[in-house]
Structure 1
Amino acid sequence: MGLLDSLTSALGSGDATQGSAHASVLAAAMEYVNQQPGGLGGVVQSFEQNGLGGVIGSWIGNGENQPISSDQIESTLGSDAVSAIAQKAGVPADQVSGILSQVLPHLVDKATPNGEVPQGGGFDASSLLGALGGLLGKREG
Structure 2
Amino acid sequence: MGLFDNAVPGGNVAKPLMIALGALLVGKMLSGKSADQTDQAQSPAPAPSPSGTTTSADGGLLGGLGGLLDRLKDAGHGNTADSWVGTGQNRPIQANDLGNALGPQVIREIAQRAGMSEQDVVKQLSAALPGIVDKLTPNGQVPPQNQLASIFSKFAN
Partner of 2:15: 23
- Report matched runs for 1:4-19 at 5 Å: 7=5, 11-12=9-10
The alignment covers a number of residue pairs equal to: 121
CA RMSD of aligned residues (A): 2.9
Partner of 2:81: 56
**1:106 aligned to 120, 123, 131, which one?**
131
Greater RCO, CA 8 A, separation 6+: 1
- Retained in 1: the 8 A contact 2:7–2:131? no
Q: Give SS of 2:113's match.
A: helix
Partner of 1:133: none
- Retained in 2: the 8 A contact 1:39–1:121? no
1:94 is displaced (CA, Å) by 1.8
**Aligned-partner residue type, residue 68 of structure 2:** V
Q: Are 2:54 and 1:43 equivalent residues in the alignment?
A: no
Q: What is the rounded CA distance, in whole Å, between the counterparts of 2:138 and 2:7 in structure 1?
A: 20
Identity of aligned residues (%): 32
1:8 is displaced (CA, Å) by 7.7
Structure with the higher fraction of residues in helix conformation? 1
**Aligned-partner residue type, residue 7 of structure 1:** D
Q: What is the rounded CA distance, in whole Å, between the counterparts of 2:79 and 2:131 in structure 1?
A: 15
- After TM superposition, the score normalised by the length of structure 2 is 0.65
- After TM superposition, the score normalised by the length of structure 1 is 0.72
1:120 is displaced (CA, Å) by 3.0
Distance 1:108 1:10, change over 3 A: closer
